[in-house]
A and B are shown apart, each in its own frame.
Chain A
């Protein structure tokens, strides 16, 4: 089983925090990987919040290939950063040659373009980079978006932390939102692209569970958007649905819950908004999820959400101390990083609600 976690804080937080959040839960995951997405970045990336940041890992040849491509498309490199690695013997980690985080300036003709035009450019660029480095796993291109950084690796999370020097807190490498997951996808082949959190155009999703409507979701999503690809993990479907409803259809957030875990017909019939809810249920049955799941999502505006399957078959808890709110599969993780919080106020979300943590760290519980 995966274990998932998220930290949303008013202050910049170093990834060491998420390692401490996840480590006590290691009995629940299997120490097979570590993946995180950092958003609202501070430290060395703070001056570049509006410029797209490319996160990837790969071999030397692929780095060159990527640089050439970016140059060819008119992107100029503004800042590059790689973690200070600390190679030691005996670490359980499947290393790649390079872990690069590169900030680019938009091509001149895009500099004053509308947001949506820029967004399309970034997505198309990432997809192109992914496609051209896919052969022989030359590189893994995780995200290309302003203020978003992705790091994923296969191995023992503690060792991965040691290798990337993540145990050592500093102010260079930090963010206000960090989502993390400590397990390689074990239901399918172990590939880095299969490790959540997944990111697409401002939306991040990670989940603990099993989406038994994976095939239905996948078959439907494939034709909805060019960015809905990969499907190395059944949890990618949660991201694509969130993105589709929010970004493509522009529906209010609450309908995410209504689409993935629709109310039973008999409950639906009692609702005032039954016409709309039925319309959604009948139009999007292929985005419904089934099976046990707890899903954490991050929206482009920085809000963090949590929703669960309709039977609430996976654990999750949310707690905060006023400065930081964390979501965790197990409460032991919260106890380590937020020992002074009021535990009475911890929230164990139920199957018919959506938790929304806003930028003031207020946690709203939306009843479906």
Chain B
């Protein structure tokens, strides 16, 4: 008899249980090799049998023997995350993870006294999306014709840069024509979909390269001027000095990682970057600084960021930046010093109850240097965060974009500082629908991140599957710096998936613009939407329909 050890973990306590079928298993060991989390191992178990012969049952001990098995590990450090790589690898499909509804993970995972950390997105309430309670309900029928998504031309571009009101533009009339007396603040007209800030430390070099490749291909081959934001931490010298820099938005976050290199590369830059984004906060973990675990600080990351191998923490705020005025000043300085007013500079904060105050302050920008307000909502993804931040802090994006837009409307300043929304766009797979709705509510464009990872092969989801981006053990080679794992990712295929998706996104946007009869983006055209939920309708100031 064995002792009952109540406090020891068994697979039944874990979020995922492994089902292994010994009849199908050919004991090749592929699953064990594939599992980056060491959540399964090859083991040997004792077996015996008892038999009975004759008319009266007389149990006799048969053989005792040992069998090789695939066994689930049950520790906090090495637990199955449900990634399914074992199943993908198994030639006989003899093994698979199953979600365990009796999991006690939340109870014991803080072993050692430290908070749960993970990547991915908020897992709570993720199914209850405002986006899905809004429908494009104003369809052109009798009074105005719909357009033809295939035949008509559509102008699908969004501004990034400070837009001056008409009466503030340095215009004069010469010979019956308007002319500009001096240059305007830089404004780039870009595709209304930005590849959101994922740093080269958070992503593997291959994954980062795939996103870059996709952006370049969309620009050069398909004429879709998609821009990619570097994320904090800089980028390779080669890219900084290449002509592709024009597709990149450089991010400066509170850790200022990588900026040394950027500054050093400046004299040799062939092109200006597409823009600069000052990151104040992030939707996935508002108020929490950046986090790159030491496991992911590989030599090339150390070089790009100029740091030793250790956990890299960006402070939760920019040191020495205590007010909106200062942040505007900071943009001013960085622009002035760095790119001589040729490059638009925007600011990104996590969505918060105070986003409207922030936007109102930005709108007053006396220097005309705030080139965009990027709001990152609750369901934004992250490479690493405390789970408590991920699940319990943040602010949904939809009403925030709307509130900011209406705040600008109240002052007659809509459009002057472009509004970009992010945080859960494309969460259910259709980014075009989400983007379109956000645009009708007042956003100029959207930024996406998680869906790009998913297109590259990430199997993580918002129901606790995988989300191990913080561990450096990403099973798909996307958010790891482990060279063996990185090799799992096929760069070309990953890039191709993104390209295909964005091309379809473009078609899908047209399919939504055509029926409402619009050939340019319906920014702020809230009358095109109806809500199927009264509270949503009321909050967003759009009609309710049922």
Please give the residue numbers on chain A whose beta carbons come within 8 Å of chain B beta carbons, in ascending order: 1, 187, 209-210, 212-216, 219-220, 222-224, 244, 248-252, 254-255, 262, 264-265, 273, 275-276, 278-280, 282-286, 288, 290-292, 310-311, 313
User: How long is the Cα–Cα vector from A345 to B152 in the complex, in angstroms?
Assistant: 30
Majority secondary structure, B binding face:
loop
B82 interface hit (Cβ, 8 Å): no
User: How long is the Cα–Cα vector from A288 to B155 in the complex, in angstroms?
Assistant: 12
Number of interface residues, chain B, beta carbon within 8 A:
43
Q: Which residues in A have their C-beta under 8 angstroms from that of B144?
A: 209-210, 212, 291-292, 313
User: How long is the Cα–Cα vector from A278 to B189 in the complex, in angstroms?
Assistant: 10
Q: Which residues in A have their C-beta under 8 angstroms from that of B177?
A: 252, 273, 276
* CB-based nearest A residue for B521: A285
21 contacts between A and B (CB under 8 A): A212-B140, A212-B144, A212-B518, A214-B527, A215-B524, A219-B409, A219-B414, A220-B409, A223-B412, A252-B176, A252-B177, A255-B178, A275-B180, A276-B177, A280-B166, A283-B415, A285-B520, A285-B523, A286-B524, A291-B144, A291-B517
* CB-based nearest B residue for A210: B144
B43 interface hit (Cβ, 8 Å): no
User: How long is the Cα–Cα vector from A194 to B187 in the complex, in angstroms?
Assistant: 38
* CB-based nearest B residue for A288: B520
A319, chain B: closest CB distance, angstroms: 26
Please give the residue numbers on chain B whose beta carbons come within 8 Å of chain A beta carbons, in ascending order: 140, 143-145, 147, 152-153, 155, 157, 159, 163-167, 169, 171, 173, 176-180, 184, 187, 189, 409-412, 414-415, 516-520, 522-527
Asked if B176 contacts A216 (CB within 8 A), the reply is no
User: How long is the Cα–Cα vector from A311 to B154 in the complex, in angstroms?
Assistant: 11
Asked if A215 contacts B527 (CB within 8 A), the reply is yes
Q: Which residues in B have their C-beta under 8 angstroms from that of A280?
A: 166, 178
A355, chain B: closest CB distance, angstroms: 17
User: How long is the Cα–Cα vector from A79 to B166 in the complex, in angstroms?
Assistant: 41
Asked if B520 contacts A284 (CB within 8 A), the reply is no
Asked if B525 contacts A216 (CB within 8 A), the reply is yes
User: How long is the Cα–Cα vector from A264 to B153 in the complex, in angstroms?
Assistant: 8
Of the listed residues A220, A283, A291, A311, the one surrounded by the most CB atoms of chain B closer than 10 A to its CB is: A283
A232, chain B: closest CB distance, angstroms: 15
* CB-based nearest B residue for A249: B166
Q: Which residues in A have their C-beta under 8 angstroms from that of B179?
A: 276
Q: Which residues in A have their C-beta under 8 angstroms from that of B153?
A: 264
* CB-based nearest A residue for B167: A249
User: How long is the Cα–Cα vector from A59 to B155 in the complex, in angstroms?
Assistant: 50
Asked if A265 contacts B524 (CB within 8 A), the reply is no
Which residue in A264, A279, A292, A313 is a CB contact (below 8 Å) of B184? A279
Asked if A216 contacts B524 (CB within 8 A), the reply is yes
Which residue in A212, A276, A288 is a CB contact (below 8 Å) of B180? A276
Which residue in A216, A249, A251, A265 is a CB contact (below 8 Å) of B523? A216
Which residue in A250, A265, A288 is a CB contact (below 8 Å) of B173? A250
User: How long is the Cα–Cα vector from A280 to B173 in the complex, in angstroms?
Assistant: 14
Q: Which residues in B have their C-beta under 8 angstroms from that of A249?
A: 166-167
Assuming A220-B415, A279-B180, what are 16 further A-B pairs, CB within 8 angstroms?
A: A1-B143, A210-B143, A223-B409, A223-B412, A252-B173, A252-B176, A252-B178, A273-B177, A276-B179, A280-B178, A282-B187, A283-B166, A284-B166, A286-B414, A286-B524, A291-B518
Q: Which residues in B have their C-beta under 8 angstroms from that of A313?
A: 144-145
B369, chain A: closest CB distance, angstroms: 16
Asked if A265 contacts B155 (CB within 8 A), the reply is yes
User: How long is the Cα–Cα vector from A1 to B251 in the complex, in angstroms?
Assistant: 52
User: How long is the Cα–Cα vector from A284 to B167 in the complex, in angstroms?
Assistant: 10
A126, chain B: closest CB distance, angstroms: 22
* CB-based nearest A residue for B170: A279
